[in-house]
Amino acid sequence: MNGEASGTIVRVTRMPKSWRIFHWVNFLAVFAAVVTGIYIARPYYQAMIAEPAVRKFVMGWNRAIHLYAAITIDVLCVVSFYLYFLSRFERPVRKLLPTREHGREFFEVLANFFTFNRRKRFDSAELDTFNAAWFTLLHLLLLFQLFTGLQLYVYSLESGLSSVGGWWPWLMHMATDWTYWAFGGRMGVRWVHHFTMYLLLAWIAFHVYYEIWRTVYWREGDIAIAFGGEKIARRLPGTAAE
């Protein structure tokens, strides 16, 4: 644990600067992808620009921003999976190992949430098993959006051409064609891609609520992690700071 101890209160670093940058870039990219994605699914405003059609790209810009955001998310997703295994700061994958201790901690975090913090029997100074699983779920959802989204994108390159060469559509076909068969065709892929957006929004809603709730009830300044990277932690009696 990286932090400084002060009696039984410790100040701990939970997110290094690079993680915080990834976090906020990810947030902005998801936000942009949702706003533009809804427009692509159902254009909710008209261009209303007094120019010929060929000189305004309202849908074109929405699609471009959606794809830029998607690529940003995809790259961050790859980076995140790398950090899960090989981060020098903390390797969340360790928390995902199905050990008895992790199972107990997962249950205790849930018990803490559902007893409204009347029971708290785990070390909140470090990444807990529940949050590790919750963050992993986010990355899996984003990965799923990557596969379904690229499938929706690549079929427009049916000619096999792209600005960067034929390898790019070929690679996308190889990686994403399974979604076509898995979800019963292109409309099915479109359906699950759109629906997964709602799962992501629900994920975000819970994430924001949970961090605020922890801040209010644990009184450890959890919400500050995303901004300053640090929080304070109250140690269980008998638990020594590292």
Q: Which residues are near other proteins by CB under 8 A?
A: 7-9, 41-43, 45-47, 49, 53-60, 62, 113, 116-118, 120-121, 155-156, 158-160, 169-170, 173-174, 177-178, 180-181, 184-188, 190-191, 194-195, 197-199, 201-202, 205-206, 209, 213, 216-220, 234-237
Closest approach of other proteins to the CB of residue 101, in Å? 18
Q: Side by side, which strands form the sheet with 3-6?
A: 3-6, 9-13, 230-234
What's the N-to-C CA distance of the chain in angstroms? 6
Closest approach of other proteins to the CB of residue 156, in Å? 6
Residue pair 217/117 in contact (Cβ under 8 Å)? The answer is yes
| CB closer to other proteins, 20 vs 63 | 63
Judged on CB neighbours under 10 Å (0-12, 13-18, 19+), 12 is buried
Closest approach of other proteins to the CB of residue 215, in Å? 10
Judged on CB neighbours under 10 Å (0-12, 13-18, 19+), 4 is exposed
The residue ranges of DSSP E strands in the chain, in sequence order, are 3-6, 9-13, 230-234
Distance of CA 122 to the CA centre of its chain: 25
Residues 6+ apart with CB under 8 A from 105: 122, 128, 129, 130
Closest approach of other proteins to the CB of residue 51, in Å? 8
| CB closer to other proteins, 81 vs 170 | 170
Residue pair 77/139 in contact (Cβ under 8 Å)? The answer is yes
| CB closer to other proteins, 14 vs 76 | 14
| CB closer to other proteins, 57 vs 85 | 57
Closest approach of other proteins to the CB of residue 73, in Å? 19
| CB closer to other proteins, 53 vs 164 | 53
Closest approach of other proteins to the CB of residue 89, in Å? 26
| CB closer to other proteins, 87 vs 162 | 162
